[in-house]
Amino acid sequence: MGATILDGKALAASWEEQLQKRVDALKEKSGGQTPILATILVGDDPASATYVKMKGNACRRVGMESMAVEMPGATTTEQLLAKIDELNNNPDVHGILLQHPVPEQIDERACFDAIALAKDVDGVTCLGFGRMAMGEEAYGCATPKGIMRLLEHYQIDIEGKHAVVVGRSAILGKPMAMMLLEANATVTICHSRTQNLPALIKQADILVGAVGKPEFIKAEWVKDGAVVVDAGYHPGGVGDIELGPLSDRASALTPVPGGVGPMTINTLIFQSVESGEKALA
């Protein structure tokens, strides 16, 4: 029996239909106003430009508006902070996305943390992370929150399970671990320098690959019946986990592409709609 495919693409499409209805209802209540997501792109990295375009398209599909803010590659930290402050104080903007990465001369963490908590729909601020980790209200980081929504939809049992997260980035590995812990999993956080990594991965009932290296996690390290979530995407259409041999060994897995990626963007839109509802309803 093959693994259940955790189809993020189909789930995101289903959620878009629901979000469109919520946006339509909000327009009626607010005299035609819609949630607005401001996207900030600094520099001319083509991959970043593509991601921002995809997020703008997703806004339009649900009837939202997006405000594209493009800044030159020579932008300073101070100039970017001023732009974020302007958007924080614009009542028509309900969510702010600063596209990662920014040029190296910019203090990215300072700029992330300048985003107002109420508009941090991508879940990137230290304050938002801290509140989420403490079980308080905050918007979750888009990728791990998208993964949690995917697991919930497919009724994957998390409570009491041993979840192993491979990766410790501020916007994926760390918040992923905290969200799984909040859902009553027992969580082990690993990374590229972890000793005896295959042995730790072998213990995982739920495995999340978020290490950022193509097929770094080998199929032979994964125990039969595990739930396998691959949050990576690399040229050639591969993720962080060697998924091919797991199609008939895992109990469930996310495809690459079409698993985690669509849910990341959908979660950003989902949280932007929530922010708009709080401000406009």
The annotated binding site is made up of: 167-169
Q: Under DSSP, is residue 61 helix (H, G, I), strand (E, B) or coil?
A: helix
The set of residues, in sequence order, having a beta carbon less than 8 Å from that of 254 and lying 6+ positions away, is: 5, 6, 8, 150, 228, 229, 230, 260
- Virtual CA dihedral for 37, 40, 46, 50, nearest 10 degrees? 0
What is the DSSP code (8-state) at residue 222? S
Instruction: Please indicate whether residue 55 is annotated as part of the active site.
Output: yes
Residue in 7, 99, 230, 271 annotated catalytic: 99
In terms of Cβ atoms closer than 10 Å to its own Cβ (0-12, 13-18, 19+), residue 30 is: middle
Establish whether 99 is a catalytic residue. Answer: yes
Catalytic residue (choose from 83, 119, 120, 122): 122
Q: Are 240 and 212 in contact (CB under 8 A)?
A: yes
Phi, psi torsion values for 132, nearest 5 degrees: -60, -45
| Cα–Cα distance for residue pair 188/181, rounded to 1 Å | 10
Q: Which of 55, 119, 145, 161 is catalytic?
A: 55
Cα 122 to Cα 3, 146, 176, 225, 266, distances in angstroms = 30, 11, 14, 32, 11
- Cβ atoms of 189 and 165 within 8 Å: the answer is yes
- CA nearest 213: which of 191, 229, 244? 191
Annotated catalytic residue 122: yes
Binding-site members for NADP(+) are 167-169
Number of neighbours of residue 186 by Cβ within 10 angstroms: 14
Active site residues: 55, 99, 122
